[in-house]
Amino acid sequence: MRLALDEAERAARNGDVPVGAIVLAPDGSTVLASGHNEREAAHDPTAHAELLALRRAAAALGQWRLADCTLVVTLEPCTMCAGAIQQSRIDRLVYGARDEKAGAAGSLWDVVRDRRLNHRPEVVEGVLAEECARLLTAFFRDR
């Protein structure tokens, strides 16, 4: 999560909402890819940290299926990112701060664990939650 927080700080420095993401290889310690929000920088509404990290991890592995990989993200994924997580076949989602307004991994919705879908990753929430939330709070307070 500390690496994801570093990514989130990069987003904030560039004027984007400070969310960072890391994809870990099946060994659980090798970083395959990272990303941070780039919506403002790229003028792209889909440039969320999770999507960028998932795309880069798939490119690094040479396949779209990210089975046995872990996605670590500082903020609970939105519905768009939750759908991409489900589609990528990530086995484990670890996130920091809950998103009561748009979270789709347990807060507002639970897309990633919807029993109607063919893949449901393990979800670990609340890792360094206060630190992740502080970064977001400071960003919006200063805007």
Give the active site residues: 50
Whether the CB-CB separation of 68 and 59 falls below 8 Å is answered with no
Strand ranges inside the chain, DSSP E = 20-24, 31-36, 70-75, 92-97, 122-125
Q: Is 78 annotated as a binding residue?
A: yes
In one letter, which amino acid is 82? A
Whether the CB-CB separation of 75 and 96 falls below 8 Å is answered with yes
Q: Is 119 annotated as a binding residue?
A: no
Q: Is 36 annotated as a binding residue?
A: no
Which pair of structure tokens corresponds to residue 10? Answer: 């990069």
Write out the binding residues: 48, 78, 81
Write out the binding residues for Zn(2+): 48, 78, 81
